[in-house]
Structure 1
Amino acid sequence: MKKLAISTLSAVAVLAALNTNALAADTGIVNFTGDIISPTCAVVPADGTYNVPLPAVSVALLSSAGDTTDNIGFTISLTECNTATNNVYAFFEAGPNVNADGKLTNNGSAGNVAVELVDANGNVINVGSEEQAANPATVAVSDGSASLSYSARYIATGAATAGSIDTSVTYSIAYL
């Protein structure tokens, strides 16, 4: 009986030692490093909000799906750009006002009309899509500033009906 008790105690002691070693091998350290830098560019105005008035147009110009009106230009201005900043563009993000086709939905009373964004090269922007980053219309930063030119226009999603247009989109500045 004493031999059995000693053998059992020895086995328990060996297992406990093995278990402790197994636990010790499962631990480690993760180190994190990084830098905090000053903002790359400042958007003017400081709150980054631009109001782009679109003109009143006749429903006759938007009588069929896909019909568009003339482009109305707008500029996003950047200043105080970090000297390491080379090229920039605006990335127009997905959100509650963006439809599945990458157009801005109308929250006003006009029917069958959306707003379409166009880059400086005349390419339609698929808002909210990573396609924007694949071949963006970039602008070089010069003397610490840049002016990003875009356009907006109406696009018919069917035969337009008269009413108001009200929509918006969130953008972020991308640096290359």
Structure 2
Amino acid sequence: MQRTLAIFCTACAGLISQAHASDGTITFTGNIAATTCTISVAGGSSSGSISLPSISTKALAVASATAGTIPFSIALSGCTGAATQAAIWFENDSNVNAAGRLINTGTASNVDVALYNTSSSSHILIGQTSSTFGSSGMAFPISSGNATLRYLAKYYASGVATAGTVTAIANYTVQYQ
């Protein structure tokens, strides 16, 4: 009985010290802006569709090849509040691979969709950027309550591409500053 009690007390002491142990503290900070805008993707609502051009597998015959560049924009209108800039934060979720590109759920293989700021030759590293304003998608000015945020989308070969359909989804949030 005494041995059982000693083992029980030792186990309890271990649990008590673990329950009160702390290796550090994490503080989360952020900002909720009073700015609101009406959002339009490709002339529609806040959820739109961008059609990439039909291309040959020859254009994506080697890993890291890109092709089929298509510009797209997200328009903001009727903005209210004090913000003077807007940027898109492309969300990291199950639609994004470890390389920061959009995963193709269509039938073509070895093809991702990469998003670019219009002034950059490197794709936006979705999910691998800091939370700094404009780090996922560059910042654009809001003028007279309106802004047009311009980006590029391209096919990206993760290997030798095979023919088929490409479907990729980007979830996003508008950031205001």
TM interval, shorter chain, is 0.7 to 0.9
Name the SS for the 1:61 alignment partner. helix
Partner of 2:154: 153
Q: What is the deviation of 1:38?
A: 5.5
CA contact (8 A) 2:87 2:140 kept: yes
- Unpaired runs of at least 5, structure 1: 1-35
Choose between structure 1 and 2: higher helix proportion.
Answer: 1
1:22-77 deviation digits (Å, cap 9, x = unpaired): xxxxxxxxxxxxxx985522212684111100111111110111000142011101
Question: Partner residue of 2:139?
Answer: 138
Aligned match of 1:127: 126
Inter-CA distance 132–63: structure 2 relative to 1 (3 Å threshold): farther
Provide runs of 4+ in structure 1 moved above 4 Å: 36-39
**What SS does the aligned partner of 1:57 have?**
coil
* 8 Å contact from structure 2 (residues 86, 139) kept in 1: yes
Cα deviation, residue 175, structure 1: 1.1
Residue matched to 1:27: none
- Distance 1:76-1:175 versus aligned 2 partners, 3 A rule: same
CA pair 96-37 structure 1, distance change in 2 beyond 3 A: closer
| Structure 2 segments unaligned to the other structure (5+ residues) | 1-31
Q: Give the structure 2 partner of residue 41 of structure 1.
A: 37
Percent identical among aligned pairs is 33
Cα distance, 1:129–1:37 mapped onto 2, change above 3 Å: closer
Q: CA deviation at 1:130?
A: 2.9
The alignment covers a number of residue pairs equal to 141
- For 2:70, the aligned partner's letter is I
